[in-house]
Amino acid sequence: MKKEYAVIGLGRFGGSICRELSQEGLEVLAIDLDEDKVNEYKEIASHAVIADSTDETVLRELGIRNIDHVIVAIGDNIQASLLTTVILEELGIKKITVKAQNDYHEKILSKIGADHVIHPERDMGKRIAHNIMSNNILDYIELSDDHSVVEVKAGSKMSGQSLVDLDIRAQYGCNVVAIKRQKDVIVSPMATEMIQEGDILIVIGADKDISRFEKNLVVEDD
């Protein structure tokens, strides 16, 4: 089953997350109080609705309890952000990621049920979107508009296979430039190098190629 996401708050940051997840072909429910913002994302997200996320009844009617991961990206209204987080926690949402305005906001969010708190000023939308897609995607750094470096943890799809077996360069157009294995770092690993579960691979490539690599070898099937 493909995971479903909801983004609450379609400002610059929330919009960036919504756009990235949608471009990866994922199911995204976009929510905002502002009609203009919702209209902007109607063609981008799977569903875009005008709704007040501080109203528990409204969230229930939207079927929010069926969503695997909710990202609360509400702008300057800390009260709405906190109340929304509390409601989502009470509704039993599996994973809640919330944008924090400051350290004080972050402390409260962590206490009331946010699984992951982010500061958009420190984290860019593209990097966070990739982290949201899988716990195995540890970091994502843009080198240019269309090339990036991604740091991924090897799961069951790669474990026990060599680099030549996986054929990452030929299949996905990406290069594994290093492997971190506990305290060791293997730079320019040999094609015969066997991948162990928990290895961290540093992969470089074009964004579209990295996206295919992540979907096929990194994101674990539920």
pLDDT at res. 122: 57
pLDDT in tens, 84-126: 999 999 999 999 999 998 888 888 998 888 998 887 655 566 6
Give me the chain's average pLDDT, please.
88
Mean per-residue pLDDT for 166-170? 91
pLDDT at res. 106: 86
Domains of the chain listed by start with CATH number: 4-118 (3.40.50.720), 123-218 (3.30.70.1450)
Long-range contacts of 8-11 (CB under 8 A, 24+ apart): 8/32, 8/53, 8/70, 8/71, 8/72, 8/73, 8/74, 8/84, 9/53, 9/72, 9/73, 9/74, 9/75, 9/99, 10/34, 10/37, 10/38, 10/40, 10/41, 10/48, 10/73, 11/37, 11/73, 11/75
pLDDT at res. 28: 95
Gap between the Cα atoms of 106 and 99, Å rounded: 8
pLDDT at res. 133: 72
CB 166 within 8 A of CB 160: no
pLDDT in tens, 124-147: 666 667 777 777 877 777 766 678
